[in-house]
Structure 1
Amino acid sequence: MPTFVRTDKCDGCKGQDKTACMYICPHDLMKLDMDGSETGHAMKSYNQEPEQCWECYSCIKICPQNAIEARPYADIVPLGASVQPLRGTDSIMWTIKFRNGTMKRFKFPIRTTPEGSIDPYGGKPKADLSKIAEPGFFNHNEQNGYRAGDPSELICK
């Protein structure tokens, strides 16, 4: 189900041009109502197209005020229950509230690395296009509908 903003908690990321939820939303759905003309709440974020929400929880995790929540589907979170993440610097804690009032918390480490710090080809040999027609390199026998690869058909930069 889509996300929604609790206007009593949202501070519009202290009046910045772009809020944290606007920055992180992969579908660009979060919007800041600067003057209150769209929602009646000035300097508050809101989900401008809830039906388009991917339910990725990115905005919920990044919100510094914990002002964004999601309405989960009933088969995952029964009516009256809730799931809320709280992101720290090195971990994320999920708080699960059950319908009977029971509460559980799960803490998981955040495994992100600095941007550009990973070498995706590190330790791997350089590609050798002269071997592409050899057995085991993208070629199968003709009877299965495949044919030997042709290096000239590859897109090379």
Structure 2
Amino acid sequence: MPTFVYMTRCDGCGHCVDICPSDIMHIDKVNRRAYNIEPTHCWECMSCVKACPQNAIDVRGYADFSPLGHSVRVDRDEDKGTIAWSVKYRDGREKSFLSPITTKPWGSCTPNLKEVEGPTQEQRDSQYLFNEPKYIRFDEGGLHTLESNGLTLKQGVYY
């Protein structure tokens, strides 16, 4: 489901450009609006859709997701901590999917490297990254699961 931008809603803030992992969201230098330079290279991660404060970015759904003549809207509500995906079909029916926001604020996961001791020689020789989080490392008892990391299932979502 490649993304596209509604130029009338976009204010050129650049949030989508900053977050796009495939670097295909750009700001038009003349109109000062965002656009997807190559929809076929879109990773379909929806990061730009979720990050856009103006709700200016939508997705083109595939036929197995929703039939032709539909629209998909995303509404990120920071106050409620939810993301709502709404699909409006061409016959007027509308379906909504509500999910909790599970991402953390930008920069909150990054350690302050000034306060972290440098890697030991053993860490330098290891195949792991220096500050790789413990919950994805395999050297401490094998593969970790959601439950082994203290997450519990509540209403179909792990917290």
Q: 1:121 to 1:56 in 2, by over 3 A?
A: closer
Is 1:58 equivalent to 2:47 in the alignment?
Answer: yes
Q: How large is the RMSD of aligned CA atoms in angstroms? A: 2.6
Q: Deviations over 1:118-150 (max 9, x none)?
A: x9437x9x769xxxxxxxxxxxxxxxxxxxxxx
Q: 1:73 to 1:49 in 2, by over 3 A?
A: same
Q: 1:127 to 1:97 in 2, by over 3 A?
A: closer
Identity over aligned pairs, percent: 47
Bigger Rg over Cα? 1
Q: Which residue of 1 aligns with 2:94?
A: 103
Counterparts of residues 1-157 of structure 1 (less than 5 Å): 1-13=1-13, 19-35=14-30, 42-89=31-78, 90-113=81-104, 114-116=108-110, 120-121=133-134
CA offset at residue 34 of structure 1? 1.8
Q: Deviations over 1:62-82 (max 9, x none)?
A: 111111111111121100112
Q: Which residue of 2 aligns with 1:134?
A: none
Q: TM-score, normalised by structure 2?
A: 0.63
Structure number with higher relative contact order (C-alpha < 8 Å, ≥ 6 residues apart): 1
Unaligned runs of 5+ in 2: 112-131, 142-159
Unaligned runs of 5+ in 1: 14-18, 36-41, 129-157
Q: TM-score, normalised by structure 1?
A: 0.64
